[in-house]
Amino acid sequence: MSTGWPPRAPADDRGIPLEGGKTLLKQYYAGARLESPQGGTLHLLRIRPEEDGSGTVLFECSVSSLRYELHVPKATRNDKKKVKDQQDEGRDPYCPRHCEPPEKLTRSGGHLVCALCGVRFGKPLG
Ligand SMILES: [Zn+2]
């Protein structure tokens, strides 16, 4: 008896959610090398902006080749204010979360998005 469609292979931009949220995020924002739960290091594969304004960072483990993803929470009021303040000063805003090296926000679909965390931080001026 047929069960219909064969099971779908997982989409290649999905990974296993990483545990240890806040600590990992801090390390990620600081540009530190992240350790894989498998003991290797995590190599950045790509960054995916989510529909709700948050982001997902996809990594591949150097040892197991398993893929992991880190969910980056959407912008807080404080984050947005920091971006707005930069705009008010007439500067091209940087991501309020990454410090070293600073990451300039890019325009995408009417939003200001950080290319390193995929998070939307507000709207471009003009
Ligand atoms: Zn960022």
Q: Is the pLDDT of residue 97 over 70?
A: yes
Query: How far does the centroid of ligand 1 lie from the alpha carbon of residue 3, in Å?
Result: 44
Q: What are residue 83's phi and psi, to 5 degrees? A: -70, -45
* Cα-to-centroid distance, 2 and ligand 1 (Å): 47
* Residue 4 CA, ligand 1 centroid: distance in Å: 43
> Could you read off the pLDDT of 37-81 as tens digits, one per residue?
888 999 999 999 999 999 999 999 999 999 999 999 999 999 999
Residue 7 Cα to ligand 1 middle (Å): 36
What is residue 50's predicted lDDT score, i.e. its pLDDT?
95
User: Higher-confidence residue: 75 or 109?
Assistant: 75
Structure tokens, 28: 């990620």
The H-assigned helical ranges of 17-100 are 21-29, 77-88
Q: How confident is the model at residue 120 (pLDDT cuts 50, 70, 90)?
A: very high
